[in-house]
Amino acid sequence: MEHPSICGGRRADPWKNRELFVNRFPGGKPLLLPAGFGTLRRKFRPKRSLLSMSWYYAENNERRGPVEDAAFQSLVSAGSIKPDTLVWREGFATWMPYGSVAAAAVPASSSPVDAAGAESSSRIACSQCGRSFPVDETVTYEGRHVCVECKPLFFQKIKEGALVVGQHDYGGFWIRFGAKFIDNILLRIVATLIGVAVGLAFPHSHAAAALAGLSILGILAAYSIFFTGKYGATPGKMACKLQVIRADGSPMTFGRAAARFFSEMLSGLILGIGYIMAGFDEEKRALHDRICDTRVVRKPGR
């Protein structure tokens, strides 16, 4: 009786009518396999180490980065990155103040022993006062590091519901009214000076009023767009410790600041109802905030 693998007295060739699959290894040598064995695939997908995680941060309302952890920690130590500086890295849903994610900025170590050594030797900024302390001299709550001096007040705020961890502290109607009042005083002084100058330059001219009006409108636009686009706040908001940001926490741009300025004109044209909306909205949004997807928040540490 013939062996199943022998046909007509001849041994069957397992490679006959074979399909060859070529897999090229990193060294360049191909591997040939017969049909049935399939292809041999090697996927080289190196896992990204936390030590090489890139950070982005906002400076003068402009995005900076990417920077690696070591360089990022140097910026923190030098004071270039403060607790209220907006930062982002892979894995974050939105831009967040550094003080609220400071724990994530400590590089991970390869072993528990190394991690303990790194933690004891590193320093971290207190999310409340902004001063730098050794990590083992702070307490951590929901990703925030708090020094011993700030701990009682910090937990008292949480107990009273004045501080909601992980959320923005939105600026309400009255604090924004105060900021707008300060801005109006400054702009009224400038408008008066412009009116006097135009009146002296064009006495008894009907075009003088129109020219003065256009000049004042230009000053208003430049004032709002420049300060909001570059610093995220007009001088009035700066005085009240307020800042304008995007809904995702990212800083403002000049384009969005311009859109917000003209949208704010609409809030005023409808008898100020656009401003009053901020007093009844959960996120304290006025009409122009809704149109431009912006938020007015209190700066951390206020």
Tell me the mean pLDDT per 10 residues along the chain, length 302: 44 45 43 43 41 74 82 81 83 78 55 42 66 79 75 76 61 93 93 82 75 85 93 93 85 92 92 91 91 88 52
Sign of torsion over alpha carbons 125, 175, 193, 199: positive
DSSP codes of every residue in 182-249? HHHHHHHHHHHHHHHHHHHHSTT-HHHHHHHHHHHHHHHHHHHHHHHHHHSS-HHHHHTTEEEEETTS
Separation in Å, CA 251 to CA 88, 229, 233: 11, 8, 11
Residue 157 tokens, joined = 């705020």
Strands (E), 12-105: 21-24, 30-33, 55-59, 62-67, 86-89, 96-97
Residue 66, pLDDT score: 85
Residue 156, pLDDT score: 78
d(CA 173, CA 175): 6
Rounded to two decimals, the pTM is 0.48
- DSSP-derived letter for residue 170 is B
Q: How far is CA 106 from the centre of its chain?
A: 18
